[in-house]
Structure 1
Amino acid sequence: MLGKQIQRLERKYGHCALKNLIKYVIGANIAVYFLSLADPSGRLPAALVLDPQLVLRGQVWRLVTFVAIPPATGVLWLFFALYFSYLVGTNLENAWGAFKFNVYYLLGMILTIIAAFLTGSPVGASNLNISLFFAFAHLFPNFELLVYFVLPVKVKYLAMLAAAVLLFTILTAPLAAKAIALVPVFSYLLYFGSDIWQMLRLKNQVRENRRRFFNEIEKARRRKE
């Protein structure tokens, strides 16, 4: 849906794109994690979370720093989470180019900020990361991941599972959680909505052509009889 607009923006501002964006995000996550080890009270991550009430009191850095909060507390899980973020981010940037990836990431941040202010709830970057995963699954649906290092599962099936969890959240959770859960949905649809629409139209056209083909065969058979 945003394809043409992004192309126009890229022609004008493509030189401003930050290459290897995901590496900077991962670096910030690692820095926050190790700095937090010196203060187990959790004050540092708490100072970075996107809290709209505190932003309105002047803590405007929270509009950006929430993406630096580590997605896990254990070293092993943090390693795997950040490695997966690296895998997703670098592949998206290679497929799209730095500018388009920057815009998609920024779009996820903006939608997260909007959802936080609409609900008044503090949020992190988890749903922003899910939006990246959905984009990755769209572009590389047959990419296989080893779940628990044993079971090979295609990314598209994991994305379906994540989508089911989001749908359940949207249907059953309180309003604030619904709004936050919609962030990856809107990010994905704004970027891939036109592709999905074209694909559905093509499938419908193929189905219609097949129906007409078999109808013509049936008519020819009846004429022969």
Structure 2
Amino acid sequence: MTWLDKLEKRFGRFAIHNLTFWIMVGQITVYGLGLFTTFPVDNLMFYPDDVLGGQVWRVFTFILEPPLVAMSPIFLVFYWYLFYIFGSALEHQWGEFRFNLFFLIGLACTVIAGLINWVILPGLIRPSHMVTNMYVMTSITFAFAILFPNFELLLYFVLPVKIKWLALITFALWVITAQGIVDWTLIFAALGNIVIFFGRSFMQGAKVKQRRVSHEKQQKAIAEEAFHRCVICNKTDLDDPDLEFSYLAGDGYCQDHWEEMEKRANAK
């Protein structure tokens, strides 16, 4: 029984059913409140200085932050559509508890990283610095891409692309747009759930690949090694595939030297 099985057996009853749906509904609600009402949406976001000042709820509610509110409604619909597909697929593949745990680990790592950055890097973080949920939300896409790399979707409902390439492009954009240690800390933190859930599989896959490469090299070396070799002139069947070899007392002789050795053997 793995550690995940043990945790699920003990805490599985606390898992939130259809977590992806409720996160999506929460983000749509917050987006609507910010767009059409005077509701103080900013009070839900994760500002480390406010959290350390006692507004602890922000470490949970910041996950309801819509993806870049300035985006067009069409892009947001596409984003939530994909998020629901990916999250629901993971929940179906793993079960409710494991998907909950995956998301909770990513959330916790992001919160810890945000608070640590605030404490140890005060000179690099403004008091109004907000910790985004972008990285932990995208980790769901990465997990889906690992499990279903060849899943194909229509980007903007037009361009067909496999999810593994979309995930690689997304990560490349993270690397390109990361600004300093603060962003890099959040990136690595958001990938903590990926490492915990897939690290063992990655290591096993690397070992299998290493064994396969080693076996292929061994087979290639065997194929390139001569099967016959003359003990006198050192010619092999690789030098001349049509060259015939004979053996005497375990030693090999090419046809040019076999008659001579046969005469010597008969003479004795």
| Alignment partner, residue 240 of structure 2 | none
| Alignment partner, residue 115 of structure 1 | 113
SS at match of 1:122: coil
Equivalent of 2:223 in 204, 207, 217: 217
| Alignment partner, residue 139 of structure 2 | 131
Q: Which runs of 5+ in 2 are unaligned?
A: 119-128, 230-235, 238-268
| Alignment partner, residue 64 of structure 2 | 68
Moved more, 49-58 or 133-142: 49-58
Amino acid at match of 1:95: Q
Runs (4+) off by over 6 Å: none
SS at match of 1:164: helix
CA distance in 2, matches of 1:23, 1:6: 23
SS at match of 1:146: strand
| Alignment partner, residue 163 of structure 1 | 171
CA RMSD of aligned residues (A): 1.9
CA distance in 2, matches of 1:186, 1:13: 21
- Structure number with the bigger relative contact order (C-alpha 8 A, sep ≥ 6) is 1
Moved more, 192-201 or 209-218: 209-218
| Alignment partner, residue 3 of structure 2 | 5
Moved more, 82-91 or 213-222: 213-222
Normalised to the residue count of structure 2, the TM-score between the two structures is 0.76
SS at match of 2:153: strand
Preserved contact between residue 26 and residue 82 of structure 1 (Cα < 8 Å): yes
Q: Which runs of 5+ in 1 are unaligned?
A: none
| Alignment partner, residue 36 of structure 1 | 34
Map 1:16-55; keep pairs closer than 5 Å: 16-39=14-37, 44-55=40-51
Identity %: 34
SS at match of 1:153: strand
- 1:15-70 deviation line (CA, Å, top 9, x unaligned): 22111001111111111112222336xx6331111111101222111010001111
Deviation at 1:72, TM superposition (A): 4.1
CA distance in 2, matches of 1:130, 1:221: 56
| Alignment partner, residue 192 of structure 1 | 198
Deviation at 1:94, TM superposition (A): 0.6
**Structure with the higher fraction of residues in helix conformation:** 1
CA distance in 2, matches of 1:222, 1:198: 39
SS at match of 2:131: coil
Deviation at 1:186, TM superposition (A): 2.4
